[in-house]
């Protein structure tokens, strides 16, 4: 089966999103549920449970992708989509009844074999109930939760903060309280139903597209007004009773993976702070996205769900699912391409991403060095790593690389344009060839990288990040580095402009300004206007100076990861780089005076 249509295409028929699905009706507790199945039924079963105000079609993108490996089952929760609603509505949506529905569907589609549950929003709230009550024990093989806490855990979370409201806890309470505004609205009688069946239902697709950046197309389905109106009873039947008297034994009896979108407007990330207490061996993932991740980040979800289920099905129990390094929750399984990865900052960055569990593509002119980087990256946690020998200043080679990467490894999630060369010497001594060389690598290399890979990132429409290695020399003028500084200043401005351009598409751009870092750049730098011997001497001297400063490239790599996680725009790294950055803003004249000093070389 081919992966589903990309977001943004497709017809307006809701069914179109689940092409090739086998349908059946499951009768349970006075309602009839509409169940859709995709993929080979002999494979492990994955059950996708949708949220509010959605129907099972919210999963269409993820389901099509998962169906290549699993038996995917989706159902419309009672009262939504093409499932019938209970009568009367009040009291018909309790978590107990939803658990009955789940068990009925599970028994119908996967008798005798436990299922892997994936829940989003209210689907996750329900699934927490499934994963923590006794009567489902042995029916659930794993649970992946996104944007939907257990109401019991939520209740305990609130109680703990109410009981001893330290300033931090009080702030957390207020923060989540403000994010839950819609829950209060849904508790008013009749009004929500009227709104959904009236203007809100009509405008909802536009609101999603504009505020939540959900691509248009086959979702939401035409059944939205009734889904939303019936679904209000999910809140009315469960929220107050559960928050008032949360169960004390809501411990998960299956492995749990938690995917937290960092930009969720309805749920604070702090809600999950004590989750390890309820779900031991919790696997955490973080995703820079808004609430509707099944629509906006289907590729990433598919990869994490597949990895988690595969680990439960056939994995080595002693092996950790998530890598050990910092930010492993964020970069696990992502595809990271680093240029200039055969040495120095590039290599250290590749290693740092590898420790976080990312898949690495090490690009460099130096084939051997790149291969070595890829090799070592695999040793420290990268599930896969490849080396590519490419000169970043060669546009055709970069195009070819992008095609290879696309075909063989997928779309790049994080691009690090790091390759650069040094050139020292006065402006009047710098020849045209020198200029050409330094601009070719330092500027054109970055332009090619951003243009060729950035375009593919934007076309995929599922976010990403670009990191460009500029330099402290980008804002610190100096009489000995005119060409180098010019190229790096251009990189800095390019990054800032690109950041503005790509912000709307969920792609972040960061410029890193390291400063004096102990790497091999000193021994490969050109010194314009001096003899070969003198150049060698100066290289050795510079290498010793940088060695004495001894700022390790590993710390720059840490700064790169931090910049991606926090989506920082400009990151000066070493203290001198930070100092110069401050001076360039507040005391530019002093910085200009420093530029006239000739360092001892």
Partner 1 sequence: MASATSAGTTARTAELSGFREVQRLAYDCAEAVAAQLKPGVTERAAARMQREWLRERGVRDWFHLPFAWFGDRTAFVNFRIPLQFFPTHRELEPGMAFILDMAPVYKGFTADIGYSGCLGLNPVHDRLLADLEAHRELILREVRERRPLREIYEDVERLMVRQGHTNRHRAYPFGVIAHKIDRVRQRRWSPTLFGFGTQSLKGLASDALHGHREGWSPLWSPYSFSDHPPQPGLWAVEPHLGFRGTGAKFEEILVVTDSKDPQESAFWLDDDLPHVRRWQEEKAA
Question: What binding mask, one character per residue, do residues 497-526 give for partner 1 by CB under 8 A, x or -?
Answer: -----------------------x------
The alpha carbon dihedral of 523, 443, 498, 414 has a sign of negative
Helix 224-244 to helix 199-211 angle (10° resolution) is: 80
> Which helix or strand (DSSP H or E) is residue 94 part of?
none
Contact by Cβ (8 Å): 580, 475 = yes
Round to whole Å and give the CA distance between 153 and 256. 14
Backbone dihedral region for residue 29 (phi beyond 0: left; psi -120 to 50: alpha; all else: beta):
left
Q: Is 351 in the site for partner 1 (CB under 8 A)?
A: yes
Report the nearest approach of partner 1 to the CB of residue 317 (Å): 15
Q: Which of 355, 388, 413, 558 binds partner 1 (CB under 8 A)?
A: 355
CA distances from 98 to 90, 201, 561 (A): 14, 25, 42
Report the nearest approach of partner 1 to the CB of residue 575 (Å): 17
Tokens 């300033």 belong to residue: 167
Contact by Cβ (8 Å): 20, 40 = no
Round to whole Å and give the CA distance between 351 and 157. 37
Report the nearest approach of partner 1 to the CB of residue 31 (Å): 52
Contact region for partner 1 (CB under 8 A) — 96-104, 267-275, 369-377, 499-507?
369-377
Contact region for partner 1 (CB under 8 A) — 58-66, 371-379, 450-458, 488-496?
371-379
Round to whole Å and give the CA distance between 376 and 360. 11
Q: Is 379 in the site for partner 1 (CB under 8 A)?
A: yes
Nearer to partner 1, 34 or 341 (CB): 341
DSSP code, position 540:
H
Contact region for partner 1 (CB under 8 A) — 214-222, 295-303, 464-472, 546-554?
546-554
Angle at CA of residue 410, ends 405 and 416, nearest 5°: 65
The alpha carbon dihedral of 537, 540, 545, 548 has a sign of negative
Q: Is 380 in the site for partner 1 (CB under 8 A)?
A: yes
Contact by Cβ (8 Å): 144, 131 = no
Q: Is 97 in the site for partner 1 (CB under 8 A)?
A: no
> Which helix or strand (DSSP H or E) is residue 504 part of?
none
Paired with 72 in beta bridges are 38, 46
Contact by Cβ (8 Å): 32, 84 = yes
Which among 52, 475, 484, 551 is annotated as catalytic? 484
Nearer to partner 1, 241 or 520 (CB): 520
Contact by Cβ (8 Å): 167, 288 = no
Nearer to partner 1, 552 or 575 (CB): 552
Contact region for partner 1 (CB under 8 A) — 211-219, 231-239, 374-382, 502-510?
374-382
Sites for partner 1 among residues 548-567 (CB under 8 A): 552, 554
Helix 367-379 to helix 344-355 angle (10° resolution) is: 20
Q: Which of 149, 369, 445, 463 binds partner 1 (CB under 8 A)?
A: 369
What the block records as the tokens of 34 is: 């509409």
Contact by Cβ (8 Å): 309, 44 = yes
DSSP code, position 442:
I
Round to whole Å and give the CA distance between 223 and 255. 34
Contact region for partner 1 (CB under 8 A) — 26-34, 237-245, 375-383, 467-475?
375-383
Q: Which residues fall within 8 angstroms of residue 495, CB to CB, at 6 or more apart?
A: 466, 468, 470, 509, 510, 511, 569, 570
Q: Which of 124, 221, 226, 373 binds partner 1 (CB under 8 A)?
A: 373
Contact region for partner 1 (CB under 8 A) — 376-384, 410-418, 497-505, 526-534?
376-384
Nearer to partner 1, 264 or 558 (CB): 558
Nearer to partner 1, 440 or 554 (CB): 554
Report the nearest approach of partner 1 to the CB of residue 557 (Å): 10
Report the nearest approach of partner 1 to the CB of residue 379 (Å): 5
Question: What binding mask, one character per residue, do residues 453-472 give for partner 1 by CB under 8 A, x or -?
Answer: --------------------
Report the nearest approach of partner 1 to the CB of residue 360 (Å): 13
Round to whole Å and give the CA distance between 563 and 570. 8
Nearer to partner 1, 220 or 344 (CB): 344
Q: Is 330 in the site for partner 1 (CB under 8 A)?
A: no
475 catalytic? Reply is no
Nearer to partner 1, 80 or 516 (CB): 516
Sites for partner 1 among residues 180-219 (CB under 8 A): none
Report the nearest approach of partner 1 to the CB of residue 325 (Å): 9
Report the nearest approach of partner 1 to the CB of residue 369 (Å): 7
Q: Is 326 in the site for partner 1 (CB under 8 A)?
A: no
Nearer to partner 1, 8 or 547 (CB): 547
Burial class (CB in 10 A: 0-12, 13-18, 19+), 508: buried
Report the nearest approach of partner 1 to the CB of residue 563 (Å): 20
Which residues contribute to the site for partner 1 (CB under 8 A)? 343, 347, 351, 355, 369, 372-373, 376, 379-380, 520, 547, 552, 554
Q: Which residues are catalytic?
A: 484
């Amino acid at each position: 089966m081919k992966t589903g249509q990309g977001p943004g295409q497709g017809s307006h028929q809701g069914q179109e999103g689940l092409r090739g699905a086998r349908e059946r009706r499951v009768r349970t507790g006075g309602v009839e549920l509409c169940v859709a199945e995709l993929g080979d039924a002999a494979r492990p079963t994955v059950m996708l449970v949708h949220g509010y105000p959605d129907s099972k079609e919210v999963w269409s993108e993820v389901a099509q992708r998962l169906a290549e490996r699993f038996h995917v089952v989706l159902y419309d929760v009672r009262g939504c989509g093409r499932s019938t609603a209970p009568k009367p509505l009040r009291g018909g949506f309790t978590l107990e009844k939803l658990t009955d529905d789940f068990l009925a569907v599970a028994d119908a589609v996967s008798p005798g074999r436990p299922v892997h549950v994936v829940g989003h929003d209210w689907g996750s709230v329900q699934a927490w109930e499934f994963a923590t009550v006794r009567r489902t024990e042995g029916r659930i093989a794993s649970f992946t939760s996104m944007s939907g806490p257990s109401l019991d855990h939520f209740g305990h979370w609130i109680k703990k903060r109410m009981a001893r409201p330290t300033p931090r806890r009080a702030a957390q309470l207020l923060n989540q309280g403000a994010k839950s505004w819609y829950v209060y609205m849904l508790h008013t009688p009749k009004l929500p139903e009227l709104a959904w069946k009236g203007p809100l239902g009509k405008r909802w697709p536009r609101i999603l597209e504009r505020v939540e950046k959900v691509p248009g197309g086959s979702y939401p389905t035409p059944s939205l007004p009734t889904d939303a109106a019936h679904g209000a009873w999910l809140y009315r039947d469960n929220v107050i009773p559960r928050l008032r008297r949360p169960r004390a034994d809501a411990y998960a009896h299956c492995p749990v993976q938690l995917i937290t979108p960092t930009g969720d407007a309805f749920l604070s990330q702090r809600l999950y702070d004590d989750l390890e207490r309820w779900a031991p061996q919790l696997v955490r993932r973080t995703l820079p996205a808004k609430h509707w991740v099944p629509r906006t980040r289907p590729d990433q979800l598919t990869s994490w769900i597949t990895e988690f289920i595969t680990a439960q099905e056939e994995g080595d129990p002693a092996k950790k699912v998530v890598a050990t390094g910092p930010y492993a929750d964020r970069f696990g399984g992502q595809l990271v391409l680093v240029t200039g990865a055969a040495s120095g900052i590039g290599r250290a960055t590749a290693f740092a991403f590898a420790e976080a569990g990312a898949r690495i593509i090490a690009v460099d002119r130096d084939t051997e060095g790149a291969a070595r980087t890829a090799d070592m990256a695999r040793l420290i946690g990268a599930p896969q790593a490849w080396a590519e020998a490419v000169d970043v200043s060669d546009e055709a080679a970069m195009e070819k690389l992008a095609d290879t990467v696309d075909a063989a490894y997928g779309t790049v999630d994080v691009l690090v344009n790091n390759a650069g060369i040094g050139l020292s010497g006065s402006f009047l001594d710098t020849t045209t060839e020198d200029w050409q060389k330094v601009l070719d690598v330092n500027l054109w290399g970055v332009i090619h990288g951003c243009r060729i890979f950035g375009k593919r990132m934007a076309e995929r429409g599922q976010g990403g990040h670009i990191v460009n290695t500029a330099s402290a020399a980008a804002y610190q003028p100096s009489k000995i580095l005119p060409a180098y500084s010019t190229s790096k200043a251009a990189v800095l401005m390019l990054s800032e402009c690109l950041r503005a351009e790509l912000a709307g598409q969920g792609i972040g751009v960061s410029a890193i300004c390291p400063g004096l870092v102990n790497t091999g750049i000193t021994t490969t730098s050109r010194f314009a206007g001096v003899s070969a011997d003198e150049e060698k001497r100066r290289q050795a001297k510079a290498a010793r100076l940088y060695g004495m400063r001894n700022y390790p490239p590993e710390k720059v790599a840490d700064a790169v990861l931090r910049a991606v996680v926090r989506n920082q725009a400009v990151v000066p790294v070493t203290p001198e780089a930070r100092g110069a950055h401050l001076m360039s803003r507040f005391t530019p004249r002093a910085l200009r005076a420093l530029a006239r000093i000739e360092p001892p070389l």
